Homo-oligomer: A and B are copies of this chain.
């Protein structure tokens, strides 16, 4: 690092990228399209139109346009919390006594507390542009719902959030953030939808599930005039919007002559990882640069490392289409893991294809080791990280410790997707020594795999 490099690199506002980068344009092997579970045919624009906003469907299907201009109202909103800093983790380096250089791209300095806002504001904008009244979505712990409520408030768009009942009751803080931004939040299963009534009748007293909440949100969107359904991860459009993370990081690296050897991101549905790595992966795909790119997933939900590359339902409730992806089976239940944002059985089709083609690595981290890393990070670098982000911290620390062994001065870049302020129940468990690790057995996995439909990979 030159002496002119600040601890925190903030780009100037005029340096915020004005286009998103569509990684698919540079992929030789394109990600497989979503298919209709009945016909097994690729979904067409018309198939998706009742559910999703028009422009977002176009982005979902567009494998070719490389640079997508960011509309000015979205740029205006980005200015509220972007550029996000690229931070040189000098205090962590010192604590680890490593010759490695560690940088992190911090996406948590906004009220939603995570990178989710990058796509929420884009999706809200396109809904508004289409003249819609509002959108619906589901949320578990509430990170995505919070981001979307901020975005909808900005564009004066109605928002109905179906929140898993157990979270609605036990995690009231994020619920109230959403309500403060004007969203209506309904515990799921509710009595407002047919599917909700049915589930309540069949399972009296149920505390809900994400699959059920998705089903309710989709039903609410498709049965009310002027509404569409929006989703915060997994989809191609989401990775497109999240490319702003990587583009800013890439610009900051170029500006200060930082050349990452290793790029690390946590992986749930893929929104953060896909966004962070986008421009770097683009260089790799085009043969211009080489990087080690590492996805880190919870040992309790190991889609990449122990999953199967197959067509599977995108959701537990089987109301969504099927995607070709690394999956543990849509009925796989990743119990006992606090990183709610990483509890997804599948993975972005883009990242699945890239992993399948050998462009990236993946590894798992166990929960207690993740919270050890989180605590060290908090105490040295100041910021209390989200459990999800702390998977990337764990891997960054491990790579830096390897450098201490070998003496190599590698440059490590990782994504700090968010803050852990609403995750203190998990920290409390860790602080009290009550946190346990959970690794699914082969039998657990087999039960999940049994729910993957038998569809040829070249369907």
Give residues in A with beta carbon < 8 Å to B.
Answer: 6-8, 10, 12-13, 77, 79-81, 91, 109-111, 113, 150, 153-154, 172-173, 176-177, 179-182, 375, 378-384, 419, 421-422, 424-425, 427-428, 431
Contact = CB atoms under 8 A, between A and B. Distances in A.
- Copies of this chain: 2
Contacts of A177: 384, 421, 424, 427
A51 B105 CA distance: 42
B81 A111 contact: no
A91 B73 CA distance: 12
Contact of A176 (B91, B150, B382, B424): B424
Contacts of A77: 382
A111 B383 contact: yes
28 contacts: A6-B13, A6-B79, A8-B13, A8-B80, A10-B10, A81-B382, A91-B154, A109-B109, A110-B382, A110-B383, A111-B382, A111-B384, A111-B419, A113-B421, A150-B382, A154-B379, A154-B382, A172-B424, A176-B424, A176-B428, A177-B427, A179-B427, A180-B375, A180-B378, A180-B384, A180-B427, A181-B379, A421-B422
Contact of A80 (B7, B110, B150, B424): B7
A431 B81 contact: no
Contacts of A8: 13, 79-80
Contacts of A91: 80, 154
Contact of A427 (B153, B154, B176): B176
A86 to B, nearest CB: 13
Contact of A179 (B81, B381, B431): B431
Contact of A424 (B109, B173, B182, B379): B173
A195 to B, nearest CB: 27
A381 B80 contact: yes
Which 7 pairs, one residue from A and one from B, show the smallest C-beta to C-beta distance? Answer: A153-B379, A173-B424, A176-B424, A6-B13, A7-B79, A80-B382, A176-B428
A180 B110 contact: no
A377 to B, nearest CB: 10
B181 A111 contact: no
Given A180-B384, A181-B378, A421-B422, 19 more contacts: A6-B79, A7-B13, A8-B79, A8-B80, A10-B10, A77-B382, A80-B381, A109-B109, A110-B383, A111-B382, A111-B419, A113-B421, A154-B380, A172-B424, A176-B431, A177-B421, A177-B424, A177-B427, A181-B379
A231 to B, nearest CB: 22
B13 A173 contact: no
Given A13-B8, A382-B81, A428 B172 contact: yes
A87 to B, nearest CB: 8
Contacts of A182: 379
Contacts of A380: 154
A246 to B, nearest CB: 21
Contacts of A111: 378, 382-384, 419, 421
